Every structure is written in C-alpha cells, then in structure tokens.
Amino acid sequence: MLSLYPTPNATSLSSPTSFSPRSTRFRMSHGSLPPLPENRIVLSVGTVVVDFLAAVASYPNPDDKIRTTSLKVQGGGNAGNALICAARLGLSPRLISKVANDTQGRGILEELQADGVDTSSVVVSEEGNSPFTYIIVDNETKTRTCIHTPGYPPMIPSDLSQTSLSSALDGARVLYLDGRIHETALLVAQEAARKNVPILVEGERIREGLDDLLKLADYAICSAKFPQAWTEAASVPSALVSILVRLPKIKFVIVTLGEDGCIMLERSVDEAPQTEEMDVDSLLELLKQRKDDNIAIPTCVSSPLTKLRANGVGTVCGRLFVGTAEKVPPSELQDTTGAGDSFIGAVLYAICSNMPPEKMLPFAAQVAATCCRAFGARTGLPHRTDARLASFLS
C-alpha cells in the first residue's frame, strides 16, 4: 500500500525482486477448504510501524555509496505482521497499540484495516511520531538488517480505558504479546488470565518486563538465540526444558531456527508410570536422524511421551518435536523480513483450530516460507485459499 505513506523518489525504481501475490497466486476453491474455527477472535498487544525496505546487491562497507535494487514502503512490526497473517488465514484479529496522528500513523491503520484487523483499540496520539524501521535487505546473503526508531510518546497503561480493554478481550480465543509496550501488555495479560484467555508470548530477545509476561504465558515462541540467553542453559534443548521447569503454566515452547526449521517441547500433564527418562540433547539427535532431507516441503518428527532430563536443570514430562523448513529454491527466496511473524500468525490459527503439533509446525513453516518469496514482511503473506496451503489445511 505505497500510496498510504510518504515515499522517497526511489519508489519509482523498477522492483525486480517483488511481485503481486494477488495476481500470481493459484487459489483453492472455498468448497475444498475446511470450515473456519468456531472462535477465531485473536487479540494482540504490540507494535505496528512503517517499514522502509531497501534491497541492495550486497551489504555496504563503511563509507560506501551504493544504490538500491528495489524499494518498498509498507506497514510492519511484529504484532501487525502476525495479525495480518492471521487475518488472511481467516481469523478475526484485534490490536491494542499506539500511533501518532501523522501521515505514517494514518497509513499504518489504513493498511491494517484493509486486511481486516480491528484497530478500534489502537490509541492515536495527537502529538509525537509514529514508529518506523529502516530495513536493508542483502540480496547476496538473503539477510536483513533492521534499524528501528520507536514511536513517541510511548504507550502507557493509562492510555487504555477499562471499556476498551473489556471490549478488546470480549470473546477472544487467544492473546498474543510481542514483548513490547510491556506495562500495557501486562495489564491486558492479567485481565486475560482472569478471563481464562490463553496467552502466547513471543521471546525475540531479552526485554524489560518480559519475565512478567512469560509468567502468565500458556505458549511461548522464541527466536533462535533467546532460549539460551534467557536460561543460560548449555544447549537449546536444555533451555527448552528449563523454560518449562521455570514457567509451570507453559503448555508448549517453540524455538524457530530459520532454514533449520524449529524445535518444540510440549508439556504433558499425564505421566505414565513406565515413562522412559532420557537426556533431551540425545533425544534431539535421534529425532534429527529420522528427518528425511530429501523432502522439500515442511515435515515434522516427534518423540513418544518421555521424561526429558537436562543436566543441571531438571526434568519435565512431555514430547519433543522437530519441524523442518521448506527448501525454498534460491531463485524464489526474496526476503526473510517478517518470516517469524508469519510463523506466529499461523500458530495463532493453529491454536484456534485445535491443530495437533504434528500438523501445526509444518503448516506454520509453509506459511513462513511463502512469506519469504516476496519483498517485504506482508507482500507474500498467503491467504487461506493459497494452493500452497491446501495439503496443510486438509
């Protein structure tokens, strides 16, 4: 939605790395789709921004002067991207956030509304500036570098009236917190917990107030480095055990690993008398050996119910899952911006649909892979009718 934002002159450049998903995507007929979840209202508290994306042939050295190969201006932010993904999959998202009443803020809201996100609980400040992010996309390494400028004034709990809070949570199936605007997020999470609304918390990096949110979480999705950074465990599998030991309310934790897929640890409340105890690192290696690397589409392998041991941490009874990522051909891989957000959006759909983990992880990986086939976090987000999702939704 380039027309919603003030854009530099470079937007007139040709954009060989982007495409219009609406014009190039094969779609399923609605008759072949499963019914939508009965309760599909999801609420999020988090940031929404404007992304200024510049693709370059390769990342510049200090003092270099280079040209972009393409440029895009569109809405972004973890919460905004995840909710637009959820909306395109058929959910009914609501957002609590804050923007300024400037050109960028108005564009942010218009883009969200156009995709079906309810922004009635977004606070609009008459002063200050809306948040924005410069993103440099390296065409050579297929990586991106983000430079973020926060919005001002920041959102505080008193910005959210009790009426808005009650209305936003009314009928919600799940609450998603991206870890930002933590004081307001905590207020909403506490009310959600009182109403027995499940809470999904994102652990992207260690942030102020995140520990308080995690204590209320039913589900957690983490970036690759977060589990060990937060727990100081010796390995990722041990860190996942540590998270479940330290946070007894958590039902499952997922760590996303980019092209290496993901790992999920699901807690079991029922421990059979003869449940085998096993070192979690050893179990992970066994599961990796069961992966079929010749399969291009996302898959999942899982352990039986096991008493998982992490040295120096403790034990937890549950199941370990290894999910693979789609092997996207290099010629189709455009931009990884927003891949993690789209994964979360798909998990929100899976929670609303009561998908089992064996189905949820490949589905979320496929949604993320589809996102990576276009320039920008939202351009390639698939709709529910996208044929590439057919086998994962059936």
Average pLDDT taken over every residue of the chain: 91
**Do the Cβ atoms of 306 and 275 come closer than 8 Å?**
yes
DSSP category for residue 141: T
Q: What is the pLDDT of residue 247?
A: 98
Q: Bridge partners of 253?
A: 220, 265
Mean pLDDT confidence for 130-154: 94
Whether 30 shows a pLDDT value over 90: the answer reads no
Q: What is the pLDDT of residue 33?
A: 83
Q: What is the pLDDT of residue 29?
A: 54
Q: What is the pLDDT of residue 27?
A: 57
Mean pLDDT confidence for 216-239: 98
Q: What are all long-range contacts of 188-194, with beta carbons under 8 Å and residues at least 24 apart?
A: 188/43, 188/45, 188/96, 188/160, 189/45, 189/213, 189/216, 190/216, 191/165, 191/166, 192/43, 192/216
Q: What is the pLDDT of residue 32?
A: 76
**Is the model more confident about 28 or about 122?**
122
Task: Put residue 390 in one of left, alpha, beta given phi > 0 → left and psi -120 to 50 → alpha.
Answer: alpha
Confidence of residue 3 (pLDDT cuts 50, 70, 90): very low
Q: What is the pLDDT of residue 34?
A: 86
Q: Rounded CA gap, 314 and 102, in Å?
A: 51
Q: What is the pLDDT of residue 14?
A: 32
Contacts of 162 (CB under 8 A, 6+ apart): none
Q: What is the pLDDT of residue 54?
A: 95
Confidence of residue 343 (pLDDT cuts 50, 70, 90): very high
* φ, ψ dihedrals at 7, nearest 5°: -120, 145
| pLDDT 10s digits, 284-302 | 999 999 999 899 999 999 9
Which among 201, 149, 160, 195 is positioned nearest to 180, based on CA atoms?
201
Percent of the chain with pLDDT over 90: 88
Whether 28 shows a pLDDT value over 60: the answer reads no
pTM of the model: 0.90
Which among 94, 105, 148 is positioned nearest to 128, based on CA atoms?
105
Q: Quick one: 304 exposed, middle or buried, by C-beta within 10 A (0-12, 13-18, 19+)?
A: exposed
H-type helices in the chain, by residue range? 21-24, 78-88, 103-114, 162-169, 182-194, 210-214, 226-231, 236-246, 280-290, 339-353, 357-371, 390-393
Q: What is the pLDDT of residue 293?
A: 87
Q: What is the pLDDT of residue 278?
A: 95
Tokens of residue 82, six digits: 């995840």
Say what the alpha-carbon torsion angle 19, 22, 25, 28 is, to the nearest 10 degrees.
Answer: 170
| pLDDT 10s digits, 368-381 | 999 999 999 999 99
Whether 2 shows a pLDDT value over 70: the answer reads no
